[in-house]
Amino acid sequence: MSEQQNSIDSVDYDVVIIGGGMVGASLACALASQTDKKIAVVEVFEFESDTQPSFDDRVIALNYGSRRIWESMGLWAELEPLIEPIKDIHVSDRGYLGATRINHQEENVEALGYVAENRIIGRVLMQRIQQLKHIDWLCPAHIEDLKQNENFAQLVLEIAGQQNNVSCKLVVAADGAMSRTRELTGLGVKREDYQQSAIIANVATEYAHNGVAYERFTESGPLAFLPMTPSDNQQRSTIVWTIHTDETENIMSLSDENFIAQLQQRFGFRLGHILHAGKRNAYPLAYVEAEQLVKGRVAIIGNAAHALHPVSGQGYNLALRDAAEIAELIATADDPGHALLLAEYEASRRKDMLRVYQLTDTLVKIFSNKFTPLAHARAAGLIMLDLLPSLRHLMARQSMGLLGRMGKMMRRIPL
């Protein structure tokens, strides 16, 4: 690796991706066909480490748009048998009559989305990356410094305890909500603490979920039950329960029996009795938005660009569209860090990001509010949504990720 570079033609890499989590690894796979480009991924954790926090116990909802991108990456056939389709989404409000149901047949799709364990997504991505000779996976490694000029970016990386200088045409920051790369680039960030935590756990229920995802708004915050693949012949769902930060310690320290009782009281008996609850994890929730997505030869994607509240289940889905868009631009260019190219990335991703942010923020504000008139309006809103198929359709398209620009990968076209 070079000490100093003077020309764009003598750089070490075309693209260096900082962060090999859900989004950085997805981008690497999206670039699988770009064998004429030299690419590196810089990741803090060892390859396939069990403690890699991005591929943890979380279970996420992949929307239909993400399925298309995974198809275009040529990885869907490997993932599909390991995940559970969401056929219908049932939205209700505890204590009120309003409810609505979004149905896959009405939307003309096989499934509205899919429920996947992060660990499994990670395994499928890593297996593919291992086969890609043009991608160097640098780990355990992290970024220490970043400087750039018009022609290239110069990075100082610590790789297995050794400092290295590495130059490249484009740096993609995929190092999460606390992105060091974003900071080193001097990109500003807006941050809002929601004063909420999401508690996740897998639960076994008496009745089959039949592919229904439930989103229930309760006085302590939204509670989702997402359908999972069965295990040991037990019907499983994963829960995402949003609570006020002050309640986190209390709920995390409940005995399994009391936790199940609280959950049952809020969710009701749509899936019969909750028979068992697995390990709980709590995630503090904050909104993070980078003021710019690009500076010089650096572009940011995923949580480094936007960390969202999980109520709408959109964080990775939105991020995968970032990855698809930047991959498409990289594929067309000799100089993937060219200013015109990155300006295109900024313009197209900003629109999508704002649309998803508005949807998510509206859901958080409306559904986390205990104010009675608002609760009545919310119930009336759900009834209206149930009666108005066109409105329901619009909401379904948005949450399936099928509104806005359809790049190549969203149209299942390989790069």
Ligand X SMILES: Cc1cc2nc3c(=O)[nH]c(=O)nc-3n(C[C@H](O)[C@H](O)[C@H](O)COP(=O)(O)OP(=O)(O)OC[C@H]3O[C@@H](n4cnc5c(N)ncnc54)[C@H](O)[C@@H]3O)c2cc1C
Asked if 23 is part of the footprint of ligand X (rule: CB under 6 A), the reply reads: yes
Distance CA 216, CA 365 (A): 15
Of 72 and 303, which CB lies nearer to ligand X in the complex structure?
Answer: 303
Q: Which residue has the tokens 């409810």?
A: 99
188, 62 contact by CB (below 8 A): no
Map residue 283 onto helix, strand or coil.
strand
Asked if 17 is part of the footprint of ligand X (rule: CB under 6 A), the reply reads: no
First-to-last alpha carbon distance for the chain, in angstroms, is 29
* Binds ligand X (CB under 6 A): choice among 202, 314, 348, 360: 314
DSSP secondary structure, 58-118, as one string: -EEEEEHHHHHHHHHTT-HHHHGGGSEEE-EEEEEETTSS-EEEEETTTTTSS-SEEEEEH
The binding track of 282-301 with respect to ligand X, each residue x by CB under 6 A or -, is: -x------------------
Footprint of ligand X on residues 47-66 (CB under 6 A)?
52, 54, 58, 60-61
Distance CA 240, CA 222 (A): 8
Q: Which of 211, 283, 275 is nearest to 243 (CA)?
A: 283
Footprint of ligand X on residues 333-392 (CB under 6 A)?
none
* Binds ligand X (CB under 6 A): choice among 24, 85, 222, 407: 24
**Side chain identity, residue 273:** H
Asked if 22 is part of the footprint of ligand X (rule: CB under 6 A), the reply reads: yes
Of 98 and 325, which CB lies nearer to ligand X in the complex structure?
Answer: 325
We find the least distance from the C-beta atom of residue 384 to ligand X, in angstroms, to be 25
Distance CA 267, CA 247 (A): 18
We find the least distance from the C-beta atom of residue 97 to ligand X, in angstroms, to be 27
206, 275 contact by CB (below 8 A): yes
Asked if 200 is part of the footprint of ligand X (rule: CB under 6 A), the reply reads: yes
Alpha helices by DSSP H, 139-198: 180-185
We find the least distance from the C-beta atom of residue 158 to ligand X, in angstroms, to be 9
Q: Which of 9, 10, 334, 13 is nearest to 166 (CA)?
A: 13
The binding track of 225-244 with respect to ligand X, each residue x by CB under 6 A or -, is: ---------------x----
Stretch that binds ligand X, among 21-29, 70-78, 104-112, 206-214 (CB under 6 A): 21-29
We find the least distance from the C-beta atom of residue 253 to ligand X, in angstroms, to be 19
What is the C-alpha R_g of the chain? Answer: 22
We find the least distance from the C-beta atom of residue 322 to ligand X, in angstroms, to be 9
165, 1 contact by CB (below 8 A): yes
Asked if 20 is part of the footprint of ligand X (rule: CB under 6 A), the reply reads: yes
Asked if 302 is part of the footprint of ligand X (rule: CB under 6 A), the reply reads: yes
* Binds ligand X (CB under 6 A): choice among 319, 324, 353, 400: 319
Of 356 and 379, which CB lies nearer to ligand X in the complex structure?
Answer: 356
Residues forming contacts to ligand X in the complex (CB under 6 A) are 18-24, 42-45, 52, 54, 58, 60-61, 142-143, 174-176, 180, 198, 200, 240, 283, 302-303, 310, 313-317, 319
